Amino acid sequence: MLTLVTGTTGQVGRRFTPRLLAQAAAGERVRVLVRDAARAERLAELGAEVVVGDLRDEDALGKAVAGVDAVVNVAASFRGVPDEEAWAVNRDAAVALGRAALASGVQRFVQVSTGMVYGVGRGRPLTEDDESRPGGEMWGAYNESKIEAERELLALDGMDVRVGRLPFVYGEGDPHLAQSLMWAANWAPAQRLQMAHHVDVAQGLLRLLYAPGADGRVYNIADDAPVTAVELYQLNGVEIPAELHTNTDPDPWFGIMSTQRIRRELGFRPTFPSVWSARDAGAL
């Protein structure tokens, strides 16, 4: 089995790919698509095949998927990039990769997405069968492009496509935890953030990659205990600003996802059920 992974130099990909390489069985190989070969040197040392090219280049896609059995598309452009780039990478390039994979005979395609595609809350934990409802302060080109990519990839006929929706990801030196205070400063004290440690994101994606019978399925990947704005300040060792306590929460269930499906169908159990357990283990 040969698996292609994209986005291997990003925060998720650089932590997922070594884990994929480490658990590879005899005869299993991993290929990575990168724009800069120098940034993939560590992965090459771990045994990855390296293909140099841009995800938005059709010729590069053809080389990347040649002979591949499965694809894990981690590549994404997050907030802060121009809308045109978000659409070009998150939707257009993802769909082009899916079509190239289908044409090349790839059997399985794992699309890494985000829980932000749900949009506004529903007054309960969000389930994979909930439709996307655009709206809220954090809606934008990133969310829209990711849900459009999901829809187009799942509509491809002849290839097993499954989707993993991630929450706020942290751990192992990822700067996201410190960056969370940019948003938390405007939140109500008890406003919650759904999270998952990188080790559990990798666990979830590996389950999606290898599990039989998950064709066309979408799975939320998250831990068990969303944290509050107050806790984010505590985790970062920063004094809680007095004005935080004057803020109100417009949508208490925004971004809070159910993990019942991935637990029941794929046996997922988070190694770190909460960010506090990760902190106690020295895994932040």
CATH classification at residue 113: 3.40.50.720
Confidence band of 209 (pLDDT split at 50, 70, 90): very high
Q: Model pTM?
A: 0.96
With vertex at residue 126, the alpha carbon angle to CA 222 and CA 184, rounded to the nearest 5 degrees, is: 65
With respect to residue 231, please indicate whether it lies within any of the assigned structural domains. Answer: no
Separation CA 215–CA 110 (nearest Å): 10
Is it the case that residue 81 has pLDDT exceeding 90? no
Separation CA 145–CA 132 (nearest Å): 12
Confidence band of 71 (pLDDT split at 50, 70, 90): very high
Separation CA 164–CA 18 (nearest Å): 19
8 Å CB contact between 93 and 26: no
- State the first-to-last Cα distance of the chain, in angstroms, to the nearest integer: 33
User: What DSSP element (H or E) covers 22?
Assistant: helix 13-22
- At residue 84, the pLDDT reads 95
- Going by C-alpha positions, the residue among 148, 123, 5, 11 that lies closest to residue 78 is 11
Separation CA 4–CA 64 (nearest Å): 7
DSSP state of 11: T
- At residue 138, the pLDDT reads 87
**Mean pLDDT across 37-45:** 94
Alpha helices of 28-156 — where are they, by DSSP H? Answer: 41-45, 58-65, 83-86, 94-104, 141-154
- Classify residue 189 by burial, with Cβ atoms within 10 Å: 0-12, 13-18, 19+: middle
Confidence band of 45 (pLDDT split at 50, 70, 90): very high
**Mean pLDDT across 199-216:** 97
With respect to residue 103, please indicate whether it lies within any of the assigned structural domains. Answer: yes
**Mean pLDDT across 198-215:** 97
Q: What percent of the chain has pLDDT over 70?
A: 100
Separation CA 101–CA 108 (nearest Å): 9
With respect to residue 204, please indicate whether it lies within any of the assigned structural domains. Answer: yes
- At residue 210, the pLDDT reads 97
What domain count does the chain have?
Answer: 1
With respect to residue 178, please indicate whether it lies within any of the assigned structural domains. Answer: no
With respect to residue 175, please indicate whether it lies within any of the assigned structural domains. Answer: no
- Classify residue 277 by burial, with Cβ atoms within 10 Å: 0-12, 13-18, 19+: middle
DSSP state of 116: G
With vertex at residue 269, the alpha carbon angle to CA 201 and CA 8, rounded to the nearest 5 degrees, is: 15
With respect to residue 283, please indicate whether it lies within any of the assigned structural domains. Answer: no
With respect to residue 56, please indicate whether it lies within any of the assigned structural domains. Answer: yes
With respect to residue 251, please indicate whether it lies within any of the assigned structural domains. Answer: no
Domain span including residue 125:
2-166+198-222+257-270
Separation CA 284–CA 280 (nearest Å): 9
Is it the case that residue 158 has pLDDT exceeding 80? yes
8 Å CB contact between 79 and 142: yes
8 Å CB contact between 110 and 244: no
8 Å CB contact between 260 and 267: no
